[in-house]
A = this chain, B = another copy of it.
Amino acid sequence: MGMRGPFTGGHAVRAAKVTSMASQTPAHPAQEQQVPNAISMDELQLAARNHAMPLEALRYPITPAGLHYLLIHFDIPDGEAASFQLTIDGLVERPIVLSLADLQARPVVALPVTLECAGNGRALMEPRAISQPWLREAIGTAEWTGTPLAPILKEAGIRPGAVEIVFTGMDHGIQGGIEHDYQRSLSLDEALGDDVLLAYAMNGAPLAPQHGYPLRLIVPGWYGMTHVKWLRRITAVDTPFKGFQQAGTYLYQTSSDDPGVPVTRMVPRSLMEPPGYPDFMTRARFLHAGPCTLQGRAWSGLGLITRVEISTDGGQSWQDATLGESPSSSPYAWRPWTFDWQATPGTHDLCSRATDSAGNTQPLDIPWNVGGYMNNAVQHVPVTVS
A residues with a Cβ closer than 8 A to B are 25-26, 28, 30-31, 35, 37-52, 54, 56-57, 59-60, 64-68, 70, 72-76, 78, 123, 130-131, 133-135, 137, 172-175, 179, 208-211, 274, 277-283, 286
* Residues in chain B near residue A28, CB distance under 8 A: 281-282
Measured in the bound complex, the distance between the Cα atoms of B31 and A46 in whole Å is 23
Q: How far is the CB of A19 from chain B (nearest CB, A)?
A: 15
Q: Is A279 in contact with B26, judged by CB distance below 8 angstroms?
A: yes
Q: Is A26 in contact with B282, judged by CB distance below 8 angstroms?
A: yes
Nearest chain B residue, comparing its CB with the CB of A49: B54
Return the contact of A286 from the options B72, B76, B174, B282 (Cβ within 8 A): B174
Q: How far is the CB of A173 from chain B (nearest CB, A)?
A: 5
Do A174 and B277 contact each other (CB < 8 Å), given the known contacts A38-B39, A135-B45?
yes
Number of this chain's copies in the complex: 2
Measured in the bound complex, the distance between the Cα atoms of B50 and A204 in whole Å is 25
Nearest chain B residue, comparing its CB with the CB of A33: B38
Contacts A26-B279, A54-B75, A66-B68 known; list 13 others, CB within 8 Å.
A28-B281, A30-B282, A39-B41, A39-B43, A42-B282, A47-B48, A54-B72, A56-B76, A60-B209, A64-B210, A65-B65, A75-B278, A174-B279
Measured in the bound complex, the distance between the Cα atoms of B28 and A64 in whole Å is 33
Measured in the bound complex, the distance between the Cα atoms of B57 and A78 in whole Å is 9
Q: Is B78 in contact with A59, judged by CB distance below 8 angstroms?
A: yes
Return the contact of A47 from the options B38, B44, B174, B280 (Cβ within 8 A): B44
Return the contact of A281 from the options B52, B130, B135 (Cβ within 8 A): B130
* Residues in chain B near residue A37, CB distance under 8 A: 40-41
